[in-house]
A and B are shown apart, each in its own frame.
Chain A
């Protein structure tokens, strides 16, 4: 079965400093991985996705993530945090049964990013 573990429930950074949100995955097959962001009272928004193409994936708002198979990791980074980045971030893996993608997303527990002025 597929699963993701977000290693930090809360991350606090100062504006202008780098952001690192950590995620490890478990999957029987080559996984499809995503990062979603959830701002208060707003819907989840896709930041980026990895689907077995380039291992370094660039997303919206300056975020990127690197797929590392040897470490089973998919950490999210951003060089310089902005106040508007404060939100809840979810690492997500696509469910696979047999060798077929079911379309079901399996979410991590989430990481709250706080950005201090």
Chain B
């Protein structure tokens, strides 16, 4: 079974530029999560999807961040414009449902904003 796939693995951009991250969850997993992990800290949830519906986006900074999950499979997280403080690792995870089933994490995208 293929795991959660994320791309790119690394991205370096200048501040004020846009950036996008892509996630392909495990086949059959209805719930998809985007987490932000700052250096030396645990991941924090940005947004959670159940199929194509964003059911929890309370932690997503909506002035510059956006996300979509068209057709309830792949998902894209976008930042526009990026700020220096956005430098972090962006993790995608998926699970069969929103219950206590295991969340499977991708390797993450490490973003550096200069």
Contacts and interface: CB of A to CB of B under 8 A. Distances in A.
Interface of A: 32, 36, 41-46, 49, 51, 90, 92, 94, 101-105, 107-110
A101 B91 contact: no
A110 B98 CA distance: 24
A103 B42 contact: no
Interface of B: 3-4, 31, 40-45, 48, 56, 91, 93, 95, 97-100, 102-108
B100 A107 contact: no
B102 A46 contact: yes
Contacts of B3: 43
Given A51-B100, A103-B95, A43 B107 contact: yes
B57 to A, nearest CB: 12
25 contacts: A36-B105, A43-B4, A43-B106, A44-B91, A44-B105, A46-B103, A49-B100, A49-B102, A51-B100, A92-B42, A101-B99, A101-B100, A102-B56, A102-B98, A103-B98, A103-B99, A104-B45, A105-B43, A105-B45, A105-B103, A107-B44, A108-B42, A109-B40, A109-B42, A110-B41
A46 B93 CA distance: 12
Given A43-B3, A43-B108, A46-B102, A107 B31 contact: no
B100 A94 contact: yes
Contacts of B31: 103
B91 A43 contact: yes
- The SS class assigned to the B binding surface is loop
Given A43-B105, A43-B107, A104 B48 contact: yes
Contact of A103 (B43, B48, B107, B108): B48
A41 B107 contact: yes
Nearest to A91: B42
Contacts of A36: 105
A61 B8 CA distance: 30
A108 B37 CA distance: 11
Nearest to B44: A107
